[in-house]
Amino acid sequence: MKIHLYERVWIGASVAMLMLFFGSIAVGAVGSNRHPPSHIETIDPTGVLSDARFATQGVRTDDAGRVHAWIVGLTFVWLPAELVVPADTPVTFHLTSVDVTHGFSIVRTNGQTMVLPGYVSQFTTTFAEGEYLIACNEYCGLGHHDMAAKLHVVPPEQWRQATTSREAPDTTGLAALTPEGSHAGH
């Protein structure tokens, strides 16, 4: 079979482009350690705020001293709206939603995941010192553009001092928030 020269050139170019695009995905996934959020851990989306894992949102350490952040997304806020974590230390994020799908995105980092009602999304990453914007990158309703939070990454010594003196966060009133309750009409 005779293949015209131009046809061969274009076949070659298409194959090269496919390899380039696939390669860039592979480099992004492996090089930047990106992976899909876990869909293994489930949660009752109507009982998130009374669930032991998410009743108190925020940053906590486990018995082994590892740092975890527990975050709830709802139209149109992240709870809590401010997080403080230590720099250059792995932080494991656990996220869920009480209503619709949200996108948790820590801008200028590889910290990003979809947040779905009924599931606990989880990822672990480390940060350089600084202030980061957390945005919702999954359209969730009319107030979507206001759905933002702040991540403060401080030197580990400073963080440890602050956590030992920090009181348990005040969650009074949060139990009254339900998907239907205070956020109707998203």
Q: Which residues bind Cu ion (CB under 5 A)?
A: 136, 140, 144, 147
Number of neighbours of residue 55 by Cβ within 10 angstroms: 15
Q: Residue 148 CB, nearest distance to Cu ion (Å)? A: 9
Q: Residue 135 CB, nearest distance to Cu ion (Å)? A: 8
Q: Residue 49 CB, nearest distance to Cu ion (Å)? A: 19
Distance CA 60, CA 108 (A): 23
Distance CA 134, CA 103 (A): 10
Pair of tokens at residue 133: 């914007």
Q: How many CA atoms lie within 13 A of 158 on its CB side?
A: 10
- In contact, 83 and 101? CB cutoff 8 Å: no
Nearer to Cu ion (CB atom), residue 57 or residue 67 = 57
Q: Residue 144 CB, nearest distance to Cu ion (Å)? A: 4
Distance CA 78, CA 184 (A): 17
Nearer to Cu ion (CB atom), residue 67 or residue 134 = 134
Nearer to Cu ion (CB atom), residue 91 or residue 140 = 140
Q: Residue 59 CB, nearest distance to Cu ion (Å)? A: 22
Q: Residue 58's closest CA among 37, 43, 79?
A: 79
Nearer to Cu ion (CB atom), residue 106 or residue 140 = 140
Question: Rounded to 10 degrees, what is the CA torsion of 162, 167, 173, 179?
Answer: 50
Nearer to Cu ion (CB atom), residue 114 or residue 147 = 147
